[in-house]
Amino acid sequence: MNDDLRTRLAEVDARIASAARAAGRTPEEITRIVVTKFHPASLVRELHDLGVRDVGENRQQELTAKRAELGDLDGLRWHFIGQAQTNKARAVRAGADVVHSVDRARLADALHAVAEPGDVRDVLVQVNLTDDPGRGGVAPSDLTALAEHVLGLDSLRLRGLMAVAPLDEEPARAFERLAGLAASLRAVAPDADWVSAGMSHDFAEAIAHGATHLRIGSAITGPRPDRR
């Protein structure tokens, strides 16, 4: 067993718990997703041994391969947090228990079109907090329209919204804006109360502003191997 991994996981969990308490929240209401992108499937196995059940991947091929390799592990939930191409919707839907990155109606339609009868997938709408329209996520002004579109697709269950803090802004300010967007989402979809926000360097600020799902990579896994 990798003692460094165990130590980093415990340290991050302690920091999550103290940030939650500082915000008057309980750690139990927060889901810590360990982002394992670029790391081998063996790392996910070690994390599972340490009790981790929620893991995140940002590339469909890697998600598909790791899920296949780790099919023997009980109770793992795979979160897809990357940009998805519509022509990969079937593989994304098959590989992910939760899709965090629905950022356009066409992608929602593609995920819906490949659904097996009766199968419902949890999804979040990704919102772009930067001024750069090239970044992932729907513009805040289009959030409600996209949410309403997703609500009309019965194979998708809209759970909330996801965002990445811009690099050139204080994370706390960005997450404050996100909290406002989360409230406007709940106005049209009262059950969509998940807020997926917070990474290795800003999860405490995200917790202070209501994040329910943290996506933490390097603080737990250590530095990522070079992009393959």
Using CB under 6 A as the binding rule, whether residue 35 contacts ligand PLP is answered as yes
Could you say whether residue 79 binds ligand PLP (CB under 6 A)? no
Pick the piece of the chain touching ligand PLP (CB under 6 A) from 2-10, 62-70, 104-112, 211-219.
Answer: 211-219
Q: Does 214 bind ligand PLP (CB under 6 A)?
A: no
Which among 20-28, 72-80, 179-187, 209-217 is the span making contact with ligand PLP, rule CB under 6 A? 209-217
Distances (CA, A) of 79 to 11, 36, 125, 133, 208: 22, 10, 13, 24, 23
Q: Which of 9, 36, 37, 127 binds ligand PLP (CB under 6 A)?
A: 37
Nearer to ligand PLP, 111 or 155 (CB): 111
> Total residues at the site for ligand PLP (CB under 6 A)?
12
Q: Which stretch binds ligand PLP (CB under 6 A): 90-98, 151-159, 167-175, 216-224?
A: 216-224
Q: Is residue 164 part of the contact set for ligand PLP (CB under 6 A)? A: yes
Token pair 């309980």 in the structure block, residue: 26
Under rule CB under 6 A, residue 95 binds ligand PLP? no
Nearer to ligand PLP among residue 98 and residue 155 (C-beta): 98
Minimal distance in Å, beta carbon 33 to ligand PLP? 8
The residues, any chain, with a CB within 8 Å of residue 162's CB and separated by 6 or more, are 81, 100, 101, 124, 125, 126, 127, 137, 195, 196, 197, 213
Cβ atoms within 10 Å of 161's Cβ, excluding its own = 29
Residue type, 222: G
- Confirm or reject binding of residue 215 to ligand PLP (CB under 6 A): yes
Smallest distance, Å, CB 190 to ligand PLP?
A: 26
Is 199 a binding residue for ligand PLP by CB under 6 A? The answer is yes
CB of 117 to ligand PLP, least distance (A): 31
**Burial of 54 by CB count in 10 Å (0-12 exposed, 13-18 middle, 19+ buried)?**
buried
Q: Which residues bind ligand PLP (CB under 6 A)?
A: 35, 37, 58, 81, 164, 199-200, 215-219
